[in-house]
Amino acid sequence: MSTPTTFVANKPQAGLLMDANEHVSMDCSHCGGTNLQSQTIRSAFWDNDRLVVIEDVPAIVCMNCHEQFYDDTTVVLLDLLRGDGFPPEKALREITVPVFSLRDKLKEKGTS
Ligand SMILES: [Zn+2]
């Protein structure tokens, strides 16, 4: 439960779970890159004005442009979660995120 998570969960000993960092033979539809790897990622989604984070998401990640691709099963599972409204009682835990604004900085720039 208290295992620290990094943005890309590519622990060397995680072979039980799935093959992390496995090279995938497909082209990136975003940049055309050919260096894609299957990884388990953490991703953030907006549900209206609510931000939710989903961990342990299997994805194909382009090493060139960092675009992420999900397979059909993952897309369906994400859609189901979204359809359920990301129920808080199913959340693993909650995190607090800092919120920034550019409003003041834009004002400074505009007046100087
Ligand atoms: Zn790419």
Tell how far the Cα of 111 is from the centroid of ligand 1, in angstroms: 40
Tell how far the Cα of 63 is from the centroid of ligand 1, in angstroms: 7
Handedness of CA 49, 54, 59, 62 (dihedral sign): positive
Tell how far the Cα of 61 is from the centroid of ligand 1, in angstroms: 8
How large a percentage of the chain has pLDDT more than 90?
65
Tell how far the Cα of 103 is from the centroid of ligand 1, in angstroms: 32
Mean pLDDT of the region 71-97: 94
Which domains are seen in the chain, by residue range? 14-111 (3.10.20.860)
pLDDT band at 9 (very low <50, low <70, confident <90, very high): very low
Tell how far the Cα of 16 is from the centroid of ligand 1, in angstroms: 28
Instruction: State pLDDT tens for residues 10-29.
Output: 444 333 444 557 788 889 99
Burial class (CB in 10 A: 0-12, 13-18, 19+), 40: buried
